[in-house]
Amino acid sequence: MATQTKLSVLEETRGGDGDGGNWGEGSRGRFGWDPGAALPVGLTGIWIAMASITMFFAAFTSAMVVRAGLGADWTRVALPHILYLNTAILLASSLTLELSKHCLKAGRAGQFSGWLFATAGLGIAFLAGQLDAWRELAARGVYLARNPACSFFYLLTAAHGIHLAGGLLALFYLVARHRRIAEGAIGGTALKVTTLYWHFMDILWLYLFLMLILWV
Amino acid sequence: MARVLSFTIVLGTAVTVILFWRRVWWFPPNISTQGAGVDREFGLTLLVTGILFVAAQLILAYCIGRGRKSGRAAYNTGNLRMEVARAVLAAATFIGLALSSYRTWARMYFIGAPRNALRIQVEAEQFAYWFRYPGPDGVFGPMHLRLVNDATGNYFGLDPTRDPASRDDIVTATLGIPENRPIELLLMSRDVIHSFYVPQLRIQQDIVPGMVIPIHFTATRTGDYEIVCTQLCGLGHYAMRAPLKVMKEPNFKKWLAKQAAEQ
Amino acid sequence: MTPTHSQAIPRKAARGFLRKYVFSTDHQIIGKQYYFLALFSALVAMLLSWLMRVHLAWPRLAIPGLGELSAAGAPNGMMTPEYYLSLLTMHGTLMIFFVLTTAPQSGFGNCFLPAQIGADEMAFPRLNMLSFWLTFTSLGALLSSFWARGGPATSGWTAYPPLSGLGSITGPGEGWGQSLWIISIALFCVGSLLGALNFITTTLDLRARGMTLMRMPLTAWAWFVTAILMLLSFAVLLAACVLLMLDRAAGTSFFIPAGLIVSGQMIQGHQGGSPLLWEHLFWFFGHPEVYIAILPAMGLTSHLLSCFARKPVFGYRAMVWATIAIGFLGFLVWGHHMFVSGMNPYSAFAFSVLTVVIAVPSAVKTFNWLGTLWGGRLRLTTAMLFALGFVSIFVSGGLSGIFLAEPPVDVQLHATYFVVAHFHLVMGMAAMFGIFSGTYFWFPKMFGRMMNETLGKIHFILTFIGAYCVFMPMYFLGMAGNVRRYAQFVDPYLQPLMPLHRFITVAALGLGAAQMIFVFNLFGSLFGGEKAGENPWEATTLEWVAASAGKDLVVYRGAYEYAVPGKEKDYVMQNAPDASGSRAEKGARDGNAN
Ligand code: HEA
Ligand code: HEA
Ligand code: CUA
Ligand SMILES: [Cu+2]
């Protein structure tokens, strides 16, 4: 779901940034009707999408807590150590994205692009790391249906991974246009939206990781 | 149209009131001790909602019938105090109703079965019920999943050769119970969710696989009744039922002995 | 037909038929697509309900043609019990998801939410198109199960595991049919989530100048709150569907307990799951869902009663707060579907109290509808008749919710036709009346023509009487202990009720036949209806503003300025400039304050 949301959100927001999109004529401000204001509907949209995604993961994690309390069949799984590294990578990627945004504001175009590339790279590294965690578990013979605890491990990491991949696509979108963004021609809102979503993925992962440590 | 509609509403209201009043179709008679509470609660709710129902429909019909005056209506955007007052009144009425049902519910579910209750296991499957009495020793022998076999009649997976407690257990297809004695049923399902419902007992409880759910009641009138399944359980759901036989205590003893002999 | 949209924004000339009418990003086209998708689903689901009703009343009757349609489900036209359950599942699923979640919200909402708040488009037009096509695919997946091996799913619209979780071993229809059902619902969830996102953003960001929240029409409020409910509840249903699918396909045990023996066969590899977990997740969605179904109809009823009684809405603010309260409380009451499920009996009591509390905002709304009508100057157009019918039927159906909300009474009535009567009156009929009144009211705006009023009135009175004849008797069936979801009534104690069942079936056939008048009127008027004027109902809201008003709409007042003293006409449009300083005027400027 996130994938499609993201892409379209990015596309639609172009209009508001005055990059020649044809859509912004009727533009109105956020939470109001100030005709002078830009049109960051993408920003509102991403907040709302995040509310929905929160609900989605709340359903999974509350199911996990209930399920863990149910029976004696809840056997805990030793979490792969690489998860800690992955967590660090993801946190770092949030940092690089902030740096990138900061450089854009400060007008350092080269550094902006550099940090943006770094963020995308770290995002890919995180996903690769998550896959490695799966490989390690599989090597131990711990598969999806082995017991409910590992079911939830795979479920939560997969669901988070898919949502993160959506954010990654958004990053790719920015990377592909980094020159024009640096010139200030396009993408102000797209950058904001992506940053928000990316930090959200970060916090979501911290929450999920904590839940995994506590329950799985 | 105005007249047709308001007449239809008044007529419909009248017919509904009459049908409820005359009890043309009604609950089957209650045969359990807690049923009276259910019936009283239903009656009370019917009274309250009935008044609201009639009032709302008649006001609506009146507005429709009288709404053809000429000229302009008064510019009236509402009255906050009146609204708050009515909301509080409605809340008090509805919450009062909900709270008044507390005792009956508590009696059904918060309080366990009395110690002298007769305990019977109920096993539901697609699409039948089986009942097990613990026999003179008062103990249910253990169940072994692997031994469950409908073809040989071992519905509960008993192993009388190994488990002494199983030897005197009595398994039946009819639920026979004595009158005026507390009964505790232990509901179990072996495949999907079923339910245990006897309208006359005013009892309904889902039977969930993986759980043992106790319910208790006391039947007060002898007779033959039906246990029906109310939880969608597959293609035979509509035909899933078992007889319930409420007997005088001596007759029950005789009946149970006969069942034991037939095993 | 040429769209007669109020704000004549010059759009980019759409390229070709496909882009214009099929893969369109135009909110009006998408709204109509949703509307016709719902209409199609409603007609299919209605057909299924006829088959069900005929079978229930005359179980040994061979239904002509049914044998050809499904050789396995109805050999020689004799319906098998599993086919009955398939029809039941499809009927409920189509009606709840594809009719009631679709037409009032995505259909009318897409057409008129932007128009009513003075926006030119939805916030994310491309996302909007995606939502529709996901919903369309979802419907395709669901209907395709009619041709799947074993037929469509048989576990009802609630799909309780283990019945729905183990595959075809629990019965025909639980193989491919159930999988398709889950896939379909998951797709529907995604489509609805994207749609909700769009609705909320549009309402928050794209309102015209002067359109404060407290000046929005109650329809817009209803769409807004409904979208929030959808955003939060469909996410949970999606999660639940993922878990159920994993249980079926990947051998996990979220909902499947250990030690099951189905048809003499031991189920291996599952352990410790809980069917109640599904019930909780499902009803956490399911209860908000029923309010998703009714809120737009409630908003529309408020809207129409005011317009056709030529009076302001009685207690506009109270209506808004009641809508919000229903939306909020709707998330706290799901347990009332589970009183006898085996969940903790203590929590039943909390759910019970919360459930009756949620009836209060509904009662407030009912009071205010009557208050709006009181002393009004009624114009009994067909749209108004359906709005009046809504009030009557909503009361008849809603009040029975109070019985069901009391745990010990629900013990007797749960899973009987009493519940079926309750939800068909509030949902099957009242919410459906909302769709009808919306159609008669907005048809001129959607298609530029008027619907035939005479046919409309005949349709109304037959539907109104039919609704009561079909569904009121079901209360009595339920009280007599008639269990729902039975393919036939073979129990001896149900035999005395058979005449009532036959009466219901005959009435249902008549009710269905009356719908043909509607369909005829709809399509007839589409092509041959009288041309509509700009504002045929003399309404005040922005969707009726003349196209010539241009795009720079400014809103000066609340949405229900009827019978304003001292004005020449008995209504003032929301965008009419503020000229005088009469008291009513001032009230209007503060957003129709009480
Ligand atoms: C549109 C859909 C809709 C709506 C609005 C409602 C509204 C309500 N519902 Fe209903 N319900 C369903 C759809 C709906 N329901 C469905 C589909 C099911 C079954 C699902 C299934 O099992 O398949 C169900 C089942 C259901 C149950 C579970 C029954 C069971 O399975 O055992 C319960 C229990 O509490 C319940 C309660 C209520 C209550 C208290 C309301 C309240 O909100 C009602 C509030 C309204 C009123 C109380 C009327 C207001 C009017 C007045 C007060 C009159 C005013 C008087 C004057 C002015 C004089 N509903
Ligand atoms: C919107 C909801 C809705 C509607 C309208 C209906 C309409 C009807 N329903 Fe349905 N019904 C359900 C929702 C609905 N139902 C649900 C959720 C279940 C439970 C499923 C389950 O147990 O899992 C159910 C179950 C159910 C049963 C219970 C079966 C059982 O438990 O064994 C019965 C039995 O009589 C029945 C009958 C009917 C009849 C005769 C009609 C109709 O004939 C009434 C006539 C139809 C109309 C008046 C509407 C026609 C609409 C149009 C013509 C188009 C409108 C325009 C647009 C959409 C754009 N229904
Ligand atoms: Cu067993 Cu229904
Ligand atoms: Cu509910």
Rounded Cα–Cα distance for residues B176 and B253 (Å): 10
Cross-chain Cβ contact B101/C352 below 8 Å: yes
* Residues whose CB is less than 8 angstroms from the CB of residue B43 and which lie 6 or more positions away in sequence, other chains included: none
Alpha-carbon gap: A174 to the closest alpha carbon of chain C (Å): 19
Beta bridge partners of B133: B170
Q: Which residues contact B183 (CB under 8 A, 6 or more apart)?
A: B113, B117, B118, B120, B177, B216, B217, B218, B219
Helix, strand, or coil here: C266? Answer: strand
C312 falls in which pLDDT band (50, 70, 90)? very high
User: Do B164 and B254 belong together in one domain?
Assistant: yes
Q: Residue C288 and residue C100: Cα distance in Å, rounded?
A: 13
Does residue B74 belong to any structural domain of this protein? no
What letters, b where the CB count within 10 A reaches 16 and e where it falls short, cover C543-578?
bbbeeeeeeebebbbbbbbbbbeebeebbbbbbbee
Residues 6+ apart with CB under 8 A from C106: C31, C34, C131, C132, C135, C192, C195
Is the separation of the CB atoms in B170 and B161 below 8 Å?
no
Has residue C201 got a pLDDT over 60? yes
The long-range contacts involving C8-17, CB below 8 angstroms and separated by at least 24 positions, are: C8/C547, C8/C548, C8/C550, C8/C551, C9/A25, C9/A26, C9/C120, C9/C121, C9/C551, C12/A22
ipTM comes to 0.91
Listed residue (A49, B22, A216) closest to C123, CA to CA: A49
The model's confidence at residue C522, banded by pLDDT at 50, 70 and 90, is: very high
What is the pLDDT at residue B129? 96
> Do B143 and B125 fall into the same domain?
yes
Q: Taking CB atoms and an 8 Å limit, are C342 and B211 in contact across chains?
A: yes
Atom index in ligand 2 nearest the CA of residue C99 equals 58
Q: Which domain holds residue B151?
A: 118-261
Instruction: For residue B219, give the CATH number of its domain.
Output: 2.60.40.420
pLDDT at A187: 67
Q: How far is A18 from chain C (nearest CA, A)?
A: 16
Q: Which residue has the higher pLDDT, C577 or C359?
A: C359
pLDDT one-digit tens code per residue, C555-571: 888 889 888 887 878 88
Say yes or no: CB of residue C362 within 6 Å of ligand 1.
yes
Residue B98: predicted pLDDT: 85
Beta bridge partners of C266: C261
CB–CB of B146 and C266 under 8 A? yes
| B145 in the same domain as B104 | no
Mean pLDDT on A139-167: 90
Regarding whether B232 and B135 lie in a shared domain, the answer is yes
DSSP secondary structure string, chain B?
-HHHHHHHHHHHHHHHHHHHHTTSS-PPPP-BTTHHHHHHHHHHHHHHHHHHHHHHHHHHHHHHHHTT-SS--------HHHHHHHHHHHHHHHHHHHHHTHHHHIIIIIS---TTPEEEEEEEETTEEEEEE-TTTT-PPPP-GGG-BTTTTBTT---TTT-HHHHT-EEESSEEEETTSEEEEEEEESSS-EEEEEGGGTEEEEE-TT--EEEEEEB-S-EEEEEE--S--STTGGG-EEEEEEE-HHHHHHHHHHHHHH-
Beta pairing, strands B241-247 & B175-178: parallel
Helix C81-93 to helix C27-57 angle (10° resolution) is 150
Our measurement of the distance from residue C470's CA atom to the centroid of its chain's CA atoms, rounded to an integer in Å, reads 19
Contacts of A67 in chain C (CB under 8 A): 254, 273-274, 277
**The pLDDT of residue C551:** 64
Write the burial class of residue A36 (CB in 10 Å: 0-12 exposed, 13-18 middle, 19+ buried): exposed
* pLDDT exceeds 90 at position B253: yes
Report the 10 Å Cβ neighbour count for C346: 11
Nearest of C402, C484, C414, C411 to residue B30 by alpha carbon: C411
Q: Residue written as tokens 């919450």?
A: B95
CB C503 within 8 A of CB C551: no
Question: Stretch C275-304: mean pLDDT, rounded?
Answer: 95
Is 80 exceeded by the pLDDT of residue C547? no
> Can you tell me the distance from the alpha carbon of C520 to that of C488, in angstroms, rounded to the nearest whole number?
34
Mean pLDDT calculated for residue range A122-138: 94
Q: pLDDT-derived band of residue B50, with 50, 70 and 90 as boundaries?
A: very high
User: How many Cβ atoms sit within 10 Å of the Cβ of residue C517?
Assistant: 17
In the predicted model, what is the mean pLDDT of chain C?
Answer: 90
- Lowest model confidence (mean pLDDT) among A17-21, A93-97, B119-123, C524-528: A17-21
Q: Which tens digit of pLDDT belongs to each residue from B127-150?
A: 999 999 998 888 898 999 888 888
DSSP of C94-126, one letter per residue?
Answer: IIIIIIITIIIIIIHHHHHHHHHHT-SS-S-HH
Q: Which of residues 185-224 of B touch C (CB under 8 A)?
A: 190-193, 195, 197, 199, 202-206, 208-211, 213
Tokens found for residue C255: 């909902």
Contact C227, C199 (CB under 8 A): yes
Structure confidence at residue C18 (pLDDT): 74
C-beta of residue C493 within 8 angstroms of C-beta of residue B28? yes
* pLDDT recorded at residue C578: 67
pLDDT category at C572 given cuts 50, 70, 90 is confident
* Pair (B143, B233) in one structural domain: yes
Q: Is the bond preceding B127 in cis, omega lying within 30 degrees of 0?
A: yes
- Any idea which residue has 């994993």 for tokens? C246
The per-residue pLDDT for A35 is 38
Pick the more confident residue, A32 or C352: C352
pLDDT at C5: 38
Q: Are residues B99 and B222 part of one domain?
A: no
- Distance in angstroms (rounded) separating the CA atoms of residues C320 and A34: 24
Q: Give the integer Cα–Cα distance in Å for C25 and C132.
A: 10
- Ligand 2 centroid vs C425 CA: distance in angstroms? 10
| C193 Cβ under 8 Å from any chain A Cβ | yes
- Stated length of chain C: 594
Question: How high is the pLDDT of residue C269?
Answer: 82
User: What is the DSSP code (8-state) at residue C69?
Assistant: H
- Do B247 and B122 lie in one domain? The reply is yes
Residues 379-418 of C with CB under 8 A from B: 380, 385, 388, 391-392, 395-396, 399-400, 402-403, 405-409, 411-412, 414-416
C81: nearest Cα among C198, C178, C173, C219: C173
Number of domains in chain B: 2
- Residue C200 vs residue C269, higher pLDDT: C200
Residue C518's closest CA among C457, C590, C559?
A: C457
Mean pLDDT computed over B209-227: 94
Q: Ligand 4 centre from C290 Cα, in Å?
A: 7
Q: Is residue B103 part of a domain?
A: yes
The answer to whether the CB of B6 falls within 8 A of the CB of C364 is: no
On whether both B126 and B247 belong to a single domain, the answer is yes
Tokens 């071992």 belong to B154
CB C160 within 8 A of CB C180: no
Tell which atom from ligand 1 comes closest to the C-alpha of C370. Answer: 58
Contacts of C273 in chain A (CB under 8 A): 67, 70, 148
Burial label, C20 (beta-carbon count in 10 A; 0-12, 13-18, 19+)? middle
Mean pLDDT to the nearest integer, A194-209: 95
Residue B216 domain-assigned (yes or no): yes
Are B103 and B187 part of one and the same domain?
no
Residue from C378, C394, C482 to probe the interface with B (highest B Cβ count within 10 Å): C378
**Pairing state between β B213-218 and B182-189:** antiparallel
H and E: helices and strands count for chain C: 18, 2
pLDDT above 50: residue A20: no
- Mean pLDDT of the region C32-48: 96
Residue for token digits 């009604």? B26
Report the DSSP beta bridge partners of residue B175: B244
B144 touches chain C (CB under 8 A): no
B217 and B247 both lie in a single domain: yes
B19 and B39 in a single domain? The answer is yes
Ligand 3 centre from B235 Cα, in Å? 9
Residue A8 has pLDDT above 60, yes or no: no
Say if residues C1 and C449 touch (Cβ distance below 8 Å): yes
Residue B254 maps to a domain? yes
- Tokens 């329809």 identify what position? C219
Residue B251 and residue B151 share a domain = yes
Query: What domains sit in chain C, N to C, each tagged with a CATH number?
Result: 17-218 (1.20.210.10), 535-594 (no CATH)
| A99-121 pLDDT tens trace | 998 988 888 888 889 999 999 99
The answer to whether residues C150 and C176 touch, using CB atoms and an 8 Å cutoff, is yes
Minimum mean pLDDT range among A145-154, C393-402, C505-514, C519-528? A145-154
CATH of domain A2-15+39-215: 1.20.120.80
Question: pLDDT at position C550, please?
Answer: 61
* Distances in whole angstroms, Cα of residue A126 to Cα of each of A96, B85, B117, C241, C407: 14, 59, 61, 27, 50
* pLDDT tens-digit map of C370-417: 999 988 889 999 999 999 999 999 999 999 999 999 999 999 999 999
A70: which 2 tokens?
């149910």
Mean pLDDT score, B30-48: 93
Per-residue confidence band for C548, with pLDDT thresholds at 50, 70 and 90? low
**Which candidate in B102, B204, B224, B226 is best for mutational testing of the C interface (most C CBs within 10 A)?**
B204
